[in-house]
Amino acid sequence: MMNPHSCDDAHLAATYEQTPPPDLLALLEEQDDFLLLGHVNPDGDAVGSVLALAHMLRDMGRTVAAAFPSPPPRWWTDMPGADLVQDNPRQAPVVIALDCDGAGRLAGLQPLHAAAQYSVEIDHHSSTDRTSDILYVDPAAGATGILVFRIIEALGRPLTSAIATCIYWAVATDTGFFRFANTSTEVLEICARCAACGADPHSIAHTNVGIRPLPHLILKGRALVGLESYLDGRVLASAIGPEDFVAAGADRTHVEEIIDDIRLAENVDIYVLFKAIDLDNRWEVSLRSSVVNCAQVARDFGGGGHAEAAGFTFDGPLEKGRTRLLDALSKALPDHHHG
Ligand code: 5GP
Ligand code: MN
């Protein structure tokens, strides 16, 4: 009897919203020197989609390097392909930005992308500020890892165990391990396929959500203790500043997912976390809501993201930025009576 979950299955039952553009597929087939880049403060989707595509290109015999403008959290060395990542990458003719809501998210690595003979963006964010020669953007996709999976399928390349692990990692983390609104049939089918081809759901879940560095837990505790309600309880917010990072022994990589615990609070429409690591008074903001469009609010402050999860940065003081944000949120909230 045929194993319905065999790694050799040619097709998924799900039909894709969008297939990869032919010019991208041709570029991947014809070029032989690639640099793949993920966004600043890289998350599981950024690292997983970059490394999955890097594995595919290396398996095809191409020269390929990967880089990130700032270091990913410690877990990333558990992902296959650490040897593909370089601290000071050189210019390549083809430079591909993955999971970037516009090339600005490449921070210090943006000049390499801008100077490429062929610049490419592969992404599922909603930015319309795209500067690349070739675009593969599908905001309906649950993760950028999904787009890489579609590319691998379209090229008929094998889903090796290393690639399956990177894609599962990318998709599982970006969907909050299959809890968030972006968890679709396609997400579940692709992850089932990756599991059949060598991804280990238990160990990936354990590494990402089953065990956490102590500084992360202490930092999260400080963020939770500091929670305050605004706008008649419809907004829940906290702030962690330089003194919190020092007290927790934490760095920027320990911030990820604190907002996911804040968004557990019931009867709240919008969740906000303000973060400042250094004494330079530069604040990063995480926004979460299924009631207002976070990406739209964040864009008005120079940031971006997804409808349900977005972010931006501002120069302090904190109180001024918080007042401005609350003002914008009160206008964005439906049925909110002003004044
Ligand atoms: P987080 O709150 O987890 O840092 O980010 C949530 C989402 O918003 C992610 O998809 C992230 O890439 C995006 N995002 C966060 N900060 C910024 C920003 O400053 N600019 C843009 N364009 N996107 C951001
Ligand atoms: Mn993503």
Tell me how many helices (H) and strands (E) the chain has.
12, 11
Question: Is there an atom of ligand 1 within 6 Å of 299 CB?
Answer: no
Contact between residue 299 and residue 287 where contact means Cβ atoms under 8 Å apart? no
Nearby residues of 309 by Cβ (< 8 Å), 6 or more positions away? 180, 286, 287, 288, 294
- What region, left, alpha or beta, does residue 127 occupy, with left being phi > 0 and alpha being psi -120 to 50 degrees? beta
- Of 24, 34, 270, the residue nearest 135 (C-alpha): 24
Q: Which domains, from first to last, does the chain contain?
A: 22-209 (3.90.1640.10), 214-332 (3.10.310.30)
Atom index in ligand 1 nearest the CA of residue 294 equals 8
C-beta of 288 in contact with ligand 1 (< 6 A): no
What's the predicted TM-score (pTM) here?
0.93
Cα within 13 Å of Cα(240), Cβ side: 31
Is residue 306 lining ligand 1, measured as CB closer than 6 Å? Answer: yes
What is the whole-number distance in angstroms between the Cα of residue 305 and the centre of ligand 1?
A: 5
Which ligand is nearest the CA of 98, by number? 2
CA angle 310, 94, 306 (to 5 degrees): 10
DSSP tag of 202: H
Q: Which of 126, 167, 161, 163 has the alpha carbon at shortest distance from 145? A: 167
- The CA 172 to ligand 2 mean position distance, Å, reads 10
* Residue type for position 280: D
**CB count in 10 Å sphere of residue 95:** 30
Cα 209 to middle of ligand 1, angstroms: 20
Q: How far is CA 54 from CA 92, 121, 210, 252, 318, in A?
A: 14, 14, 27, 26, 40
Beta 63-67 vs 94-98: how paired, if at all? unpaired
pLDDT tens, the chain, 339 aa long? 344 456 765 455 555 557 999 999 999 999 999 999 999 999 999 999 999 999 999 999 999 999 999 998 888 888 999 999 999 999 999 999 999 999 999 999 999 999 999 999 999 999 989 999 999 999 999 999 999 999 999 999 999 999 999 999 999 999 999 999 999 999 999 999 999 999 999 999 999 999 999 999 999 999 999 999 999 999 999 999 999 999 999 999 999 999 999 999 999 999 999 999 998 999 999 999 999 999 999 999 999 999 999 999 999 999 999 999 999 999 999 875 544
* Binding site membership of 312 for ligand 1 (Cβ less than 6 Å): yes
Give the span between the Cα atoms of 267 and 10, in whole angstroms: 45
User: Can you read off the two tokens belonging to residue 119?
Assistant: 């610049």
Stretch (H or E) spanning 34: strand 33-38
Residue closest to 227 by CA, chosen among 173, 193, 194, 266: 266
Q: 322: Cβ below 6 Å to ligand 1? A: no
Residues bordering ligand 2, an ion, CB closer than 5 Å:
45, 99, 144, 174
Structure tokens at 309: 């999860």
Run of H or E residues at 165: helix 161-174
Kindly give the distance from the C-alpha atom of residue 101 to the centroid of ligand 1, in angstroms, as a whole number: 8
Question: For residue 3, how far is its CA from the centre of ligand 2 (angstroms)?
Answer: 31
Give the residue carrying structure tokens 């469009």.
Answer: 293
Structure-block tokens of residue 330: 């009160």
